[in-house]
Amino acid sequence: MGSGIGLGHPYLSPWLLSGLAIGYVAVTMWFVVRFVWGLNTIRLLSQNAAEVTLSTAQASHWSHCAEAFKVNGASLRTSSEIGGPITIGVKRKFVLLPPDMLAVLPVTELRTAIAHEFAHMQRHDFFKNMLYELLCLPVCFHPVLSLTRYRLAETREMICDQMAATLADHHQYARSLLRLASVLVGGIPKRIPHTIGIFDVTTFERRVMRLTNKPAHSSVPLRLATVGVCVALSVVTCVSALALSVHVDALAAGQEQPPSKINGPVAVRADIMQKQIVHKVPPVYPEDAKKAHIEGKVQLEAVIGKTGEVGTLNVVSGPKELQQSALDAVRQWTYKPFLLNGEPVEVKTTINITYSLIP
């Protein structure tokens, strides 16, 4: 802040602020109701789901996945309200399948779907997703949040693919995922989220490419060279920032005088100094002016000392009958010391005293 410059605060109408607050509360409450409605839908979905009796081979694969992913107490159920496999539950976890999926789906694809859902259960993705939704309620209206949630869901599916593919070959798992998508694509659900994530074409394509592409392993010299380049860039950035800081400080020291060497008081706007008042004596309306129905504004030019006391005080304009009253009142005012670069300085400002006979 240079000499004689003061920054005010933007003014917003109380009606505008109230309208914004009411709108924000209304939008947030709508998202809260939608969140509660979703929880109730999931509760009804788990209650209406039917138990499933697995064949010997299916039960063996289920036990193998439970042991591999260290998930105990999970159960398999079917529901006609979904179009693909999903996982729900916090303490007691369920894998839900469409009613005819066990009979129609080939064994390999069924194992792929079950392994993927067990990866979700091991990561507690249902609970995490519910917690994310709850924490995001105050900012659900923000458009950036939708992109963030989309990227989180995509990353979550890719991680579960990597975990599930450890039970088989990555290429075999990718082929099973494609065949599973071709079987289920005809029954896309409307409102139930699918943790298998095959109904998002873009995400599904990236998942398959990540499974089939051979991971690139960089050599030790290349890793060391990369680390060296990063360290060098960090050092150059820090040195450049330090040099710029020194240059700016030197320039400021050469162009600006410290507060102790400022000649004369610093000019500050009236609205800024109005906020600095700590003791204010109201002016007395002269009786003669009242009888003569004299009204108006008296503008004074004042010099406020470093301690906050009013020093020089001169009349700039205003009715003569009201000038002395304004001078007598303002001379008793006290201000907070005005600081410039951390040091108190004398201030030159204007003071407006308005006299009105209207109560």
- List domains and CATH numbers for the chain: 14-212 (no CATH), 264-355 (3.30.2420.10)
Which 8-state DSSP code applies to residue 309?
Answer: B
Confidence at residue 250, expressed as pLDDT on a 0 to 100 scale:
41
Find the range with the poorest average confidence among 102-111, 203-212, 225-234: 203-212
Tens digit of pLDDT for each residue in 282-302? Answer: 999 999 988 998 999 999 999
The CB-based long-range contact list for 51-57 (8 Å cut-off, 24+ gap) reads 51/75, 51/77, 52/76, 52/77, 52/78, 52/97, 52/102, 57/107
Residue where the block lists tokens 């470093």: 306
Mean pLDDT of the chain: 79
User: Predicted confidence band at 359 (pLDDT cuts at 50, 70, 90)?
Assistant: low
Residue 173: closest CA among 158, 192, 156, 189 = 158
The pLDDT value recorded for residue 330 is 93
pLDDT in tens, 309-355: 999 999 999 999 999 999 999 999 999 999 888 889 999 999 999 98
**143-165 vs 170-184: helix axis angle to the nearest 10?**
120
Tokens coding 231: 């360290």
- pLDDT tens figures, 118-168: 999 999 999 998 898 899 889 888 888 888 888 888 888 888 888 888 887
Q: Which of 245-249, 258-262, 275-279 has the lowest mean pLDDT?
A: 245-249
What is the C-alpha separation between 336 and 343, in angstroms, rounded?
12
Q: What stretch of H or E contains 221?
A: helix 220-255
Q: Looking at the whole model, is its pTM more than 0.85?
A: no
The long-range contacts involving 53-57, CB below 8 angstroms and separated by at least 24 positions, are 57/107
pLDDT digits (tens, 9 = 90+) for 44-85: 888 888 888 888 888 888 899 999 999 988 989 888 888 778
